[in-house]
């Protein structure tokens, strides 16, 4: 069928493959003055500037390589930054007062990645940090090492880490207060499927674990983790005798008065 109308569409890039579909499109309207019989010009996707200045939560940040694809479906860094910004109200409470470590993916998720725990000189002056001894919990860490961790407390901090292609944010099971590590305030059970099992088996274990934890007076919640596993969380607090007790008891439970010992 011959074309009868001419329209204008702005877009950021083509998808990969033979279909060459457009991504991030914006309709700009019809052009009645254009001849539909004239040969079409080969469209050229606009190129984003390599460095862009934005305002995030009242702070000015410089972002780079926003059109770089990070995921196999060509999800770009700009889309990751947008996602982090949208979920900030939900994500920030989980990061509050917890030192953060990153796994960065500068060459897409299937490319080379690296773990970062110690901040460098490029860290913004406004970003709160904490210095702790021990180098974290990863094997091989020097127990005498002093590590400078970031504390992500606002939207601008999330935009900053997203610009680093930090696609994994890891926090410990304890918080810090005035630069001092507090006792753990939650239990985490990491359930990963082994050989011959699937995430369905993890779900069954999580259901059984839920029953056990509720019987202890805890209020567990489950979440997916990584690419194939499940984690079960339960809030706790330290008692004066250095045992753990629930921070909140569910309304319907079976209590036997026991505590979980450390």
Residues 158 and 202 in one domain: no
Residues 231 and 147 in one domain: no
Residues 57 and 173 in one domain: yes
Q: How many CA within 13 A on the CB side of residue 16?
A: 7
d(Cα 63, Cα 52) in Å, to the nearest integer? 5
pLDDT in tens, 208-240: 999 999 999 999 999 988 778 999 999 998 665
C-alpha distances (whole Å) from 102 to each of 55, 107, 115, 163, 220 are: 23, 15, 6, 12, 26
Split into its structural domains, the chain has a count of 3
Phi and psi of 5, rounded to 5°? -130, 155
pLDDT in tens, 148-207: 999 999 999 999 999 999 999 999 999 999 989 999 999 999 999 999 999 999 999 999
Band of the pLDDT at 81, cuts 50, 70, 90?
A: very high
Q: What is the pLDDT of residue 260?
A: 33
Residues 108 and 36 in one domain: no
- Give the residue-averaged pLDDT of 235-248: 64
Residue indicated by tokens 């994994």: 168
Residues 158 and 138 in one domain: yes
Residues 230 and 119 in one domain: no
Residues 31 and 140 in one domain: no
- Give the residue-averaged pLDDT of 58-72: 92
Q: What is the pLDDT of residue 255?
A: 33
Residues 39 and 104 in one domain: no
On the question of pLDDT at 74 being above 50, the answer is yes
User: In degrees, to the nearest 5, what angle opens at C-alpha 89 toward C-alphas 84 and 91?
Assistant: 60
Domain boundary among 177, 209, 230: 177
Residue 17 DSSP class = S
- Give the residue-averaged pLDDT of 112-140: 82
On the question of pLDDT at 9 being above 80, the answer is no
33-42, 120-129, 150-159: range with lowest mean pLDDT: 33-42
On the question of pLDDT at 254 being above 50, the answer is no
Residues 148 and 237 in one domain: no
SS3 state of residue 206: helix
Domain boundary among 131, 157, 177: 177
Residues 40 and 71 in one domain: no
CATH of the domain at 143: 3.90.920.10
Residues 67 and 131 in one domain: yes
On the question of pLDDT at 30 being above 90, the answer is no
For the chain, percent of residues with pLDDT exceeding 90:
55
d(Cα 201, Cα 189) in Å, to the nearest integer? 14
Residues 92 and 199 in one domain: no
pTM listed for this prediction: 0.69
- Domain of 203 in residue numbering reads as 186-261
């Amino acid at each position: 069928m011959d074309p009868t109308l001419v329209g204008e569409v702005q877009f950021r890039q083509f998808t990969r493959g033979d279909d060459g579909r457009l991504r991030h499109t914006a309709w700009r309207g019809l052009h009645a003055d254009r001849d539909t019989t004239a040969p079409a010009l080969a469209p050229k996707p606009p190129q984003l500037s390599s460095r862009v200045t934005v305002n995030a939560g009242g702070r000015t940040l410089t972002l780079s390589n926003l059109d770089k694809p990070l995921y196999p479906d060509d999800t770009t860094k700009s889309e990751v930054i947008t996602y982090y910004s949208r979920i900030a109200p939900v994500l920030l409470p989980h990061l509050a007062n917890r030192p953060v470590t990153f796994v960065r993916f500068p060459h897409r998720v299937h490319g080379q990645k690296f773990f970062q725990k110690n901040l460098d000189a490029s860290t913004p002056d406004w970003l709160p940090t904490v210095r702790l001894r021990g180098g974290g919990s990863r094997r091989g860490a020097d127990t005498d090492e002093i590590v400078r961790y970031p504390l992500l407390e606002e939207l601008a901090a999330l935009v900053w880490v997203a610009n680093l292609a930090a696609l994994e944010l890891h926090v410990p099971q304890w918080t810090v207060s005035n630069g001092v590590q507090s006792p753990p305030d939650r239990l985490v059970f990491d359930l990963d499927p082994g050989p011959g099992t699937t995430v369905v088996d993890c779900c069954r274990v999580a259901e059984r674990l839920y029953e056990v934890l509720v019987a202890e007076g805890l209020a567990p919640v489950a979440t997916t983790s990584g690419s194939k596993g499940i984690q079960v969380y339960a809030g706790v607090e330290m008692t004066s005798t250095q045992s753990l007790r629930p921070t909140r008891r569910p309304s319907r439970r079976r209590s036997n008065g026991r505590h979980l010992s450390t």
